[in-house]
Structure 1
């Protein structure tokens, strides 16, 4: 298990770390897949246009060999044949180069998706630290692994190619008896035979390398517990600070609620765990509102202030619990509770009128 400052990387990489790594161009990508795309696309184009290549070879060879007896070497002749060979080279390589470019681009997109990372191209002074760069190239674990992998790949391909070419060399002894068209056809068939077999080998190597690169990238992206905590602080804020802010906000809202309790018409209790203070102004409110609510200790404080200010307390276990869960401070009560609350308020108003009459008498 990898370590950072003595701490093991035991945590899976967060989405933020993966996103930051992607912006910097750090992704799980296999260069062997790109090599496979180059060889594969070249093989496909050679196979699809083999007749076209054969005709071009035949035309150039026939033109050259038919003029050998009358050919005079001078500057005009050199310019003429230079132009012919240049056009010939462009004509036969252009389709292959285009296919290689397209397939190489698609192979990169298939591996990591399409995303332009400008940070990769930004100049950094650290890139010009030749001593450090030379050390990373020559003595790092990554460079050693890549070197060993390249040597192993070269050895496997060399041995594989040797056995294929041995067979082709034996067959090429018969070329002296063939015409130009047959010789060109043999050369194309031999090239295709060699390349598609190497492509198959590259496919096996690329598949194994892709698995290795994904595994290595995942290991490199692993995080320590401390790194996860630090990232959480950066993205969501320090949990300690957030908790302190929540406590302060709760204190402020509690003080505001306590100031509104004396204005309530009634406090519904359950009677020990919940207390909900309701107020209803028929001239402007569509329904009674919750001006304060609390549970346990806060509920007892609401009840105490209500008693001190002669706000009626009404005990209803189920209603108090339902109001506490359904409403926040400042909310109007839901329609399903209208009837129950209306009966309580009607009773409270009736008791106030009776007390008022008695006081007048």
Structure 2
């Protein structure tokens, strides 16, 4: 069905759409299923409780149709009879009502489940519009419902006529039976015929339930634009997400730059890479940790801060690239780079001692540090 925006509802509803529809009370329901469940439950209950109900009715009839002369002129007889009749019928009728209630609940939750929607209970003034009411009365949906009702009446009436015709001889034979037996036989026949007649609703239910499921899915179908809009609303607009990522990246960079002054050395590739390392000599067995790393502009900023705080800067392109690609921020370097990094740190510590007047000037680092092939980039 074409929409006003020119798009057709060709896409299956998303989980979000189904959830919103359920919150609004828009779920698949079958009136035929509920009706069939109530009628079948009532007839089954009457068959199960027919003995108790029959005994209660017999007691009521005997009590109210066998009065003495004294009771006829007693004004309290009517109320006493009503009280006794009510008490006699109370338990079997309550049991029957309980069976019907359970059948009604089960029949209405079999399709769609249990759902409480405050939105569906709220009054909607649009439903009070006479114009919209006329559209509903003479619309396509109303015509479909009318045809369904006519078809149901014709089907049930035909089934009832055939059922009566099949039991016609049995019904006529009731006149040949004595009164108590005839009443029991007639009641039993009536109940079984009622149950069979209710079973005629099952083919209607078998047609209506799949139709309601299909129609519910059709009504909730979405256009591609609606799916895109829902995704944007759920996941966030791309421009907003990009801005959030940018702000998070900037905050992370600021925190990272704040760690550069505490580094023991910054290993650089003069063109692109900078990696700041810190080694805690007071923790035996610990390895150097990457406290900052970056490319291009961030690499230049790391070097700038390092110079400002007099953190030694060592140029080793291969080692800088190896550490950058193999180690995450705030993580220890891998075992394969221990030897190369140890040589760098040893050189830096000796250089710091020499500058303070302790020890000799260290031998410059070799250009070819021992970096395993798997870490070379």
Query: When the two structures are superposed, what TM-score results if normalisation uses the length of structure 2?
Result: 0.76
Quick check: 1:289–1:333 contact (8 Å CA) kept in 2? Answer: yes
Counterpart secondary structure, 1:277? strand
Indicate the residue corresponding to 2:368 in structure 1: none
Shift in alpha-carbon separation, 1:52–1:230, aligned structure 2, 3 A: same
1:300-311 matched pairs, under 5 angstroms: 301=300, 311=313
Q: Provide the secondary structure at the position in 2 that maps to 1:112.
A: coil
Return the match for 1:344 from 341, 348, 361: 341
Query: Matches of 1:260 and 1:30 in 2, distance apart?
Result: 66
User: Bigger shift: 64-73 or 38-47?
Assistant: 64-73
Change (3 A) 1:74 1:272: farther
Q: Structure 1 145/85 Cα, relative in aligned 2: closer, same or farther at 3 Å?
A: farther
Check if 1:312 corresponds to 2:319.
no
**Is the 2:136–2:142 contact (alpha carbons within 8 Å) kept by the matching residues of 1?**
yes
Question: Is this contact kept in 2: 1:274–1:294, CA < 8 A?
Answer: yes
The gaps in structure 1 that reach 5 residues or longer are none
Aligned to 1:32: 32
The CA distance in 2 between the partners of 1:255 and 1:237, in whole Å, is 25
Q: Does 1 or 2 have the higher relative contact order (CA < 8 Å, sep 6+)?
A: 1
Residue 62 and residue 303 in structure 1: after superposition, are their counterparts in 2 closer, same or farther (change >3 A)?
closer
Deviation at 1:98, TM superposition (A): 2.1
Matched, 1:322 2:317: no
TM-score (normalizing by structure 1):
0.78
Query: Which of 328, 332, 353 is matched with 2:350 structurally?
Result: 353
Q: Say which is worse superposed, 40-49 or 56-65, in terms of deviation.
A: 56-65
Match of 1:187 in 2: 186
Change (3 A) 1:206 1:294: farther
Change (3 A) 1:344 1:141: same
Structure 1 residue 173, shift from structure 2 partner: 2.0
Q: Distance in 2 between matches of 1:70 and 1:154?
A: 53
Answer yes or no: is the 8 Å Cα contact 1:265–1:312 preserved in 2.
no
Q: Displacement of 1:239 after TM fit?
A: 1.7
Query: How big is the shift at 1:143?
Result: 2.6
With over 3 angstroms needed to count, the CA separation of the structure-2 counterparts of 1:107 and 1:358, relative to structure 1, is same
Mean CA deviation greater in 190-199 or 204-213: 190-199
* Preserved contact between residue 279 and residue 291 of structure 1 (Cα < 8 Å): yes
SS at match of 2:313: coil
Q: Cα distance, 1:303 vs. partner?
A: 8.5
Determine which structure has the larger helix proportion and give its number.
1
Counterpart in the other structure of 2:243: 244
Distance in 1 (alpha carbons) for counterparts of 2:75 and 2:2: 67
Report how many residues are paired: 350
2-structure distance, mates of 1:180, 1:46? 21
Q: Please give the alpha-carbon distance, in whole angstroms, between the structure 1 residues aligned to 2:244 and 2:161.
A: 74
RMSD, matched Cα: 3.9
1:203: Cα distance to partner? 1.8
